[in-house]
Amino acid sequence: MVKKYLSLVKFSHTIFALPFAFIGFFIGVYTVSTEKALPMVQVMMQKQMLQLFLLVLVCMVTARSAAMAFNRYLDRSFDAQNPRTAIREIPSGVIAASSALRFVILNALIFIAATYFINPICFYLSPVALFVILFYSYTKRFTSLCHMVLGLGLSLAPIGAYLAVTGSFAVLPILFSCVVICWVSGFDIIYAMQDVDFDASQNLHSIPTYLGKVNALRLSVLLHVVAAALVIVAGLQAGYGYFYWEGALVFIGMLYYQHSIVSPTNLSKVNIAFMTANGIASVIFGVHVLVALFLK
């Protein structure tokens, strides 16, 4: 049963936002350690900080699980009609729609409860975060900007994790959140190119449906160029060393790679571009940022 729900929420896709949540968290740890004139390792090993790390992890997993399961629940009738998605858990009958909805509610409640034990600002903002990530599932019904809303939802990871540690906002985690918005929006446009004909037939909105595949891909390139520029700006803002720039080079290289293997007339490698390239980009970049932080 656990395996079925992990498949329902595509748990492996957590790899996209989780490294950026870790980036936000450890930037917060670095900020606190600087304020207390203590090494990062010493601050991190404090019992309170370890508990906070686990709570942030719970928030990440439950928020994303709630959002993904809600998307599958809300789109179940469309998924059943689309040959590409008809095998998903709800339309294929593996998981009942009512069970998926209960799963959404449970994860949302756990998310709110976890924020309560983090700090007041995270708790007060938890309904806002839930609204954004759940609202995304409705957007394709009325706006082609649905990809940007998805990017906005995932961009809450670095800001939220930083807030969990410091209780305040800062420029650097916001810059990384802007990276996530442009990066995720760009690759989601590529992914949506698979369903242009189906979306048009069902009056569903997307950038590829609105602009056509050629122009949609151009917009995706533009968004990824902006994401790459923001990665550079963030590195300069923070004054990171060699390891950061090595990770930034891999991240930007993976953005280029996914565009090199996808074209408006050849979508056979969309899944490689979507999952493999972006998964590698996120993990390697995240590890390099953390190493750069600890060496700073």
Q: Which pLDDT belongs to residue 7?
A: 73
More confident residue, 195 or 35: 195
Q: Which pLDDT belongs to residue 8?
A: 79
Q: Which pLDDT belongs to residue 213?
A: 95
Q: Which pLDDT belongs to residue 286?
A: 96
3-class SS at 91?
A: coil
Host domain of residue 144: 2-295
- The string of pLDDT tens digits covering residues 75-103 is 999 999 999 999 999 999 999 999 999 99
pLDDT at 45 over 80: no
pLDDT at 204 over 90: yes
pLDDT at 254 over 80: yes
pLDDT at 1 over 90: no
Q: Which pLDDT belongs to residue 295?
A: 86
CB 146 within 8 A of CB 133: no
CB 106 within 8 A of CB 61: no
Q: Which pLDDT belongs to residue 39?
A: 78
CB 27 within 8 A of CB 94: no
What's the CATH code of the domain at 215?
1.10.357.140
pLDDT grade for 25, boundaries at 50, 70 and 90: very high
Average pLDDT (123-151) is: 97
Average pLDDT (187-205) is: 95
pLDDT grade for 23, boundaries at 50, 70 and 90: very high
Q: Above pLDDT 90, what percent of the chain?
A: 81
pLDDT at 163 over 80: yes
Mean pLDDT of the chain: 93
pLDDT grade for 54, boundaries at 50, 70 and 90: very high
Q: Which pLDDT belongs to residue 212?
A: 96
CA torsion sign for 125, 127, 130, 136 is: negative
Q: Which residues pair with 266 in a beta bridge?
A: 263
pLDDT grade for 144, boundaries at 50, 70 and 90: very high
pLDDT at 10 over 80: no
DSSP 45: T
| pTM of the complete model | 0.95
Q: Which pLDDT belongs to residue 139?
A: 97
Q: Which pLDDT belongs to residue 82?
A: 94
Separation of alpha carbons 72 and 223, rounded Å? 26
* Count of domains forming the chain: 1
Q: What is the identity of the amino acid at 216? A: A
- The string of pLDDT tens digits covering residues 258-275 is 999 999 999 889 888 778
Q: Which pLDDT belongs to residue 47?
A: 82
DSSP state string for 260-277: HS-BTTB-TTHHIIIIII
CA atoms within 13 A on the CB side of 41: 4
